[in-house]
Amino acid sequence: MSAPAPARITRQDIEAKLRQVRGEVDTAGEAATKAGTMGAAVAGVVLIVAVYLIGKRRGRRSSTVVEIKRF
């Protein structure tokens, strides 16, 4: 008993496999792009809030108090 002879690999077989792999890569790329965009948006909001809070604290700490008295 001998093993059956392997089928010859044709150009169509290679192209079909490349299309399959490319489809998987495109799907993963889209998911990564969506995650990256969402991460950038969250990081931007956190940065804006942090700058606001730091500025608010600094402004309160170094603000000058002016008293005006009338006689």
| pLDDT per residue as tens digits for the range 42-69 | 999 999 999 999 888 776 666 677 888 8
pLDDT for 23 beyond 70: yes
Angstrom distance (rounded) from CA 10 to CA 18: 13
Angstrom distance (rounded) from CA 43 to CA 46: 5
Name the residue among 15, 35, 17 with its Cα closest to residue 27: 35
* Global confidence as pTM: 0.49
What does the H/E/C string look like for 24-48? HHHHHHHHHHHHHHHHHHHHHHHHH
